[in-house]
Copies of this chain bind each other. A is one copy, B any other.
Amino acid sequence: MIENRKEEHIKIAENENVVSEHNFWDDIRIVHRAIPEVDFNDIDTGVKFLGKQFNYPILISSMTGGTETAKIINKNLAMTAEHFKIGMGVGSMRVAVKNKNTADTFSVINDYKIPAKFANIGAPQLVRQDSDSLSDNDIEYIYNLINADFLIVHFNFLQEMVQPEGDRNSKGVIKRLKDIAGSYNVIAKETGSGFSKEDALSLLDAGVKAIDVGGLGGTSFAAIEYYRAQKANDEIKMHTGKAFWNWGIPSPASIKYCSLGEPVIGSGGLRNGLDLAKAIMFGATLGGFARELLKDANTSFDDVKRQMEMIINDLKITMMLTSSRNIDELKHARYITLEPLRSWLEVYK
C-alpha cells in the first residue's frame, strides 16, 4: 500500500539518521562585511518566482499526502506558507488518483491563502510501468485538486531503484514531459541526488519552467530505504541502501549545473537560513526545505512557525552581514568554496 509506505517514510525521516555523510553547504564560506551600511529593518527578502510574489525566497518542499498524519502535516505547512507568504508543495499525488478518499489530505491546503501551490507527481508515473501510469485526466484531476499554480514532476529514480516496489522504467519520460509542459507550468525536481548539466539541458529543452535541484547533502532516500529494509530483514535491500547512501550531485554543484537561464530552486540539505543564503548566492531563486520542517509540522503550526522564524532570521542576518538590502544584492555576495565541493564545480570545465 502506498499509504503505509508514505507513513513509514515520515516516521523514519523523523527518527533515524537519514542524511548523507557530508553536507556540502558546509564547504561554502561567506565573506563577511563588517560595515553593512544597511538597516536590518529595511531588508527586503521578497522575491518573484515565475510571476508569483513571495515574502521570502523559500519553498516548503513537497513531502506528503495520503494519510491522516499527512493531512495534519500539510495543514500545518499550509498555515506556515500562508503566514509567511511563501510557496508550498505537497507530496506525490498519485495516491489521490488511486484512492479518491485521500483527496482531502491534499486539498486541506486550499483553506489557506498561499502565494503559490505546487502539485506533485513522479516522473516514473509519466510512463508505463508494471503499475499504470498517470493519464492526462489524472494529472488534470491532481492539478485542480489543490488549485495548483505549478506542477512539480519529481525525478527519484534512485529511490525507485532502491525500494522494493520501485518503478524501474525511465524511457519516454522526456517525451511525455514535453506534452505536459505544453499544458501546465511544469517544474522538474530531484529528491536528493541532484540534476546534472545534461539533465538540465534536456529539461529546459522539454519546456520546464524551473528546476528544483534536490541535491545530495540532506535527506537520502537510499538511507530511508535502508531502514525500511532493516525492519523487513531484507539483507539485499539493506546492502543497496548502504551502497547508494551518498549517491548524487551535491546541491550547490547542481545549482551551478542547472543555472542555464530559467529559475533554479536550491534544495537538498538546507538546515537553516545560512544554507538558504548560500543557495541563493550560488544562483538559486528559492531555497527548498523538506526534512528540517517535517518533525515540527507533525507537531503543531506554532512549532513550524518558530522553525521558520529562525530560518528567516538567519537569512536576514546573513543579508545584513553581506551588506545585502535585498535578494538581488545577496546574489553578489562573495564566498569561497572548499573541497570536496570545489572538485564538483570543475566537472564541466
Enumerate chain A interface residues (CB-CB to B < 8 A): 29-42, 123, 155, 157-158, 161-162, 168-174, 190, 193-196, 198-199, 202-203, 216, 235-236, 239-240, 243-244, 247-249, 272-274, 306, 309-310, 313-314, 317, 320-321, 323, 334, 336-340, 342-344, 346-347
The smallest beta-carbon distance between A336 and chain B, in angstroms, is 5
Contacting residues, chain B, for A31 (C-beta < 8 A): 196, 249, 347
Please state if A313 and B346 are interface contacts (CB–CB under 8 Å): no
Of B123, B194, B195, B309, which one neighbours A236 at CB under 8 angstroms?
A: B309
Q: Which residues of the partner chain B approach A42 to less than 8 Å between Cβ atoms?
A: 171
- Main SS class of interface, A: mixed
Q: Across the A-B interface, give the 5 residue pairs with the lowest CB-CB distance, nearest first.
A: A40-B168, A39-B169, A34-B155, A161-B317, A36-B170
A334 near B34: Cβ-Cβ < 8 Å: no
Contact residues in B for A169 (Cβ distance below 8 Å): 39-41
Known A-B contacts A171-B42, A321-B247; the reply to A157 vs B30 at CB < 8 A is no
A243-B273, A340-B338, A347-B336 known; A174-B35 Cβ under 8 A = yes
Q: Are B171 and A38 in contact (CB under 8 A)?
A: yes
The winner among A35, A216, A273 for most chain B CB atoms within 10 A is A35
A236 to chain B: which residues have CB within 8 Å?
306, 309-310, 313
Given A32-B248, A336-B344, decide whether A320 and B157 contact each other with a Cβ distance below 8 A.
yes
The number of times this chain is found in the oligomer is 4
Measured CA separation A248–B318 after assembly (Å): 11
Bound-complex Cα distance A272 to B243 (A): 7
A243 to B277, CA, bound (A): 12
Closest to A235 in B: B306
Which residue in B32, B37, B171, B196 is a CB contact (below 8 Å) of A33? B196
Most B C-beta atoms less than 10 A away, residue of A38, A170, A310, A334: A170
Contact of A314 among B35, B170, B240, B306 (CB under 8 A): B240
What are 19 inter-chain pairs, A to B, with CB distance below 8 A?
A32-B158, A32-B193, A32-B216, A33-B196, A33-B199, A34-B193, A34-B196, A35-B195, A35-B202, A39-B170, A40-B169, A40-B170, A161-B320, A168-B320, A198-B323, A243-B314, A247-B274, A336-B347, A337-B343
| Contact A158 to B321, CB < 8 A, known contacts A32-B194, A199-B35, A347-B334 | yes
A39/B240 in contact, CB under 8 A: no
Given contacts A37-B171, A37-B174, A244-B317, 13 further A-B contacts (CB under 8 A): A32-B196, A33-B196, A34-B199, A35-B174, A35-B202, A38-B171, A39-B168, A40-B168, A42-B171, A162-B317, A170-B320, A240-B313, A243-B272
Interchain CA distance A249-B36 in the complex, whole Å: 15
Closest chain B CB from A155 CB (angstroms):
4
Instruction: Find chain B residues with CB under 8 A from A33 CB.
Output: 196, 198-199
Bound Cα distance from A272 to B198, whole angstroms:
27
